[in-house]
Amino acid sequence: MAKNIRWVTFLGQDGSGKTSLIEVMLYLGKGIKKFRRIDGGSSPLDTEDEEKKRNFTLQSRPATAEHNKTRLVFWDTPGFTNFMAEVKNVTRVGDAAVLVVSAVRGLKDVSILFLDVLQELNKPFAVFINHLDDPEGDFSSALASVEEALGKKPAVLTYPIGRGEEFKGFVNVLAGEALYYEEPYTGKVKKGDVPGEIKGEIETLKENLVETAIEVDDALTEKYLEGEELTPEEISNAIRKSFQDGHFVPVFAGSAYLNVGVKPLMDFVVDAFPSPEDAPSWKGTLNNEEVEVPLSDDGKVSAYVLKTTVDHYAGKISYLRVVSGRVKPEIPLIVSRTGEKIKVSQLVTIKGVEHVTAPEVPAGDILILKKVDTLNTGDTVAEEGFPVVYPPFEIPKRVLSYVVRPKGKASEEKVSGALQKIIDEDPLLEATRDPDTKDLLLWGMGQVHLEVVQERLQRKFGVEIEFDLPKVPYRETIKSKAQAQGKYKKQSGGRGQYGDAWIQIEPLPRGKGFEFVDMIKGGVIPKNFIPAVEKGVKEAMQHGPLAGYPVIDVKVTLYDGSYHEVDSSDIAFQIAGSLAFKNAVPKANPTLLEPIMKVEITVPEAFVGAVMNDLNSRRAKIMGIDVEKHGKVIRAEVPMAEMLTYAPQLRALTQGMGTFTMDFDHYEEVPPHLVNKIVEESPYKKKEEE
């Protein structure tokens, strides 16, 4: 039943121990039988070879456990900014979250970006301060960083006893009870006295905890201020309500590695995290009208496709969150977007990390659909007759692209199909064709993102590829007026070819493209041949005289010419137009243009200086700097040629915290000292030489 489900998203910077924490919770909740700290091996949550190789999570995935007669649905998420869009989508679908913070790093740097996601989506969340067994782990410092980032005091529910090698357990702050672990990994604890040196701290934390919990309840606040003792039930109810309203941020202390302090977090998830029925209704559209659908077992069935994966043998696998109703085999389902009917002969869900069959799947739980090839991430599946549509996956601007070069003939034949399957399971990817070079471009969210795709293509589909930097789409134009004749005359016995055209070319304002003006008078060129001249000019504009790049922002005026009553033809005047343009451009002071990108870079205050210095080295024009929540937004115009390798460089400059968006803005003239190098490296010039 929906009321007995808790859907929890886990967020945290890579290395925070988020996956290890989920693994321990699965072990305690009998979702898995093996715990790698005891049994060895890799985490059952890291299923991809790329994850095992790097030892961190690269894609979101679900798992389930049972605790206190409650089904816990966990979603692990990647801890890199490259995958922030996926993290945001998974968090949006969930009811509440756990933010895992390393006691070594604290809540700063990249971790703050995950906090921003939670606050932007207005999701209630708990904080688990991990790594207290690490010699460099410092709970007080980590707690202070949480408070600073939140802008308010969090409520500490468990407090560590010792640190590093002296880490011995924790204190349940509300109960004033010390729990010491007996042996690592097992989760077994024994009660003991609260160490004298922290008794005062525990009392202060308890007062803060109670005051924070009851401040949203005027009656309880008045009772507390009048000195009346609050019952445990009143405090518990206040904590639950305050947490679900987003006013109460609980903090837990522990070590996922040792399995210490994890069970209190699980207890809190069951007791205070919202069930689907407690969570806000989902907003969608039904028959072009906005509707709100409660997360309830009652009513018509609807479900949201949270993630799709492609298995080499099993085909496409889609993971859905059931929003409303109870999914049963006999209920007819459709894809709301297309109206396509879906046949479900056997219902599949998750137990632990394994796919299992189920007689029905209630609201709030996970439904797995296999081999529905037209189903995509962000789609809505609904009961026939109830075609509700929920907001789809939000895809941000992709920031990095590489040219895909297959290695070997076998890979060349399979690359398009394999790449499409990878894109089907990861909507943050996009494949396009460069309009100039016809190269296949793969777009993604960053260096790590695309490197992982490269590895998956080889592992899943046997396709080996290399990445190359995309070619900059330079353009050519002119800076002055010029006139020239294009005359084509050919006689080879019988009917010949004759076309004669005089044109004037002149520059247009940047961005105006191409303009053709017919100024022929007296019929020196018949009207029916004028379009052929224009066509010839356009063909000649595809390759300019400097480096072979297309010519833009030019006005061409056809003002004179001649024809032959027998030998003139469309093809003859087309060639004449092309020759006229090629003869005129060298006289018109041709120049090379480069694309200028409008760039917005978001960085913490501490890295603004380094980023600005780097931008100046990239010939950037700084257009402005705006203040935002955790730093600055730098607005700049930067040549595209300087931005091809920017994503990994920004990551290095900002410790992974910098993000940027980039859009084409306009073309500008290339500085003279760079022209020769660009001409030498032009693919068109190289072809001519060959």
Work out the pLDDT band at 580, boundaries 50, 70, 90: very high
Q: Which of 38-42, 360-364, 405-409, 639-643 has the lowest mean pLDDT?
A: 38-42
Query: What token pair was written down for 357?
Result: 């069959």
pLDDT of residue 58: 62
- Among the residue ranges 48-52, 582-586, 603-607, 648-652, the one predicted with the least confidence is 48-52
Work out the number of other CB atoms within 10 angstroms of the CB of residue 77: 27
What's the pLDDT tens digit per position in 117-147? Answer: 999 999 999 999 999 999 999 999 999 999 9
Report d(CA 613, CA 457) in Å as an integer: 37
Alpha-carbon separation of residue 310 from 38, 120, 426 (angstroms): 32, 31, 10
Tell me what pLDDT residue 45 has: 62
Q: What percent of the chain has pLDDT over 70?
A: 95
In this prediction, residue 342 carries a pLDDT of 92
Rounded to an integer, the average pLDDT of 39-62 is 62
Identify the residue with better confidence: 485 or 345: 485
% of the chain exceeding 90 in pLDDT? 68
With residue 271 as reference, give the H or E element that holds it. helix 262-272
Residue of 215, 170, 163 lying closest to 190 (CA atoms) = 170
pLDDT over threshold 70, residue 17: yes
pLDDT exceeds cutoff 60 at 404? yes
Whether residue 454 is predicted with pLDDT greater than 60 in this model: the reply is yes
Q: What's the predicted TM-score (pTM) here?
A: 0.84
pLDDT in tens, 636-647: 999 999 999 898
What is the pLDDT, as a whole number, of residue 184? Answer: 80
- State residue 294's pLDDT score: 94
**C-beta atoms surrounding 135 within 10 Å:** 12
Summarised one tens digit per residue, pLDDT across range 663-681 is: 999 999 999 999 999 998 8
Is the pLDDT confidence value at 544 over 90? yes
Q: Is the pLDDT of residue 54 over 80?
A: no
Q: Is residue 661's pLDDT more than 80?
A: yes
Of 81 and 650, more confident: 650
> Which is more confident, 289 or 373?
289
More confident residue, 79 or 335: 335
If you compute the radius of gyration of the chain from its CA atoms, what whole number of angstroms results? 32
Average pLDDT of every residue of the chain: 90
- Residue 445 — very low, low, confident or very high, per pLDDT cuts 50/70/90? confident
Separation of alpha carbons 393 and 377, rounded Å: 7
- Would the CA dihedral through 46, 49, 55, 57 be positive or negative? negative
CA distance 323 to 139: 38
Walk me through the domains of the chain, giving residue ranges and CATH numbers: 2-272 (3.40.50.300), 295-383 (2.40.30.10), 400-468 (3.30.70.870), 475-588 (3.30.230.10), 594-680 (3.30.70.240)
For the cut 80, the answer to whether the pLDDT of residue 687 exceeds it is no
Q: What is the pLDDT of residue 44?
A: 65
| pLDDT over 60 (residue 690) | no
| pLDDT exceeds cutoff 90 at 93 | yes
- Region for 555 from its dihedrals, namely left if φ exceeds 0, alpha if ψ lies in -120 to 50, beta otherwise: beta
For residue 494, pLDDT over 70 is answered with: no
Whether 61 has a pLDDT exceeding 70, the answer reads yes
pLDDT of residue 25: 95
What pLDDT is stored for residue 633 in this prediction?
Answer: 94
What mean pLDDT comes out for the span 63-72? 96
Taking residues 650-674, what's their average pLDDT? Answer: 91
DSSP state of 510: T
Reduce the DSSP state of residue 241 to 3 states and report it.
helix
322: nearest Cα among 346, 294, 341, 352: 294
Backbone angles phi, psi at 340, to 5 degrees: -65, 135
Q: What is the mean pLDDT of residues 100-106?
A: 95
Q: Is the dihedral of CA 201, 140, 135, 264 positive or negative?
A: positive
User: 46: pLDDT confidence band, cut at 50, 70 and 90?
Assistant: low
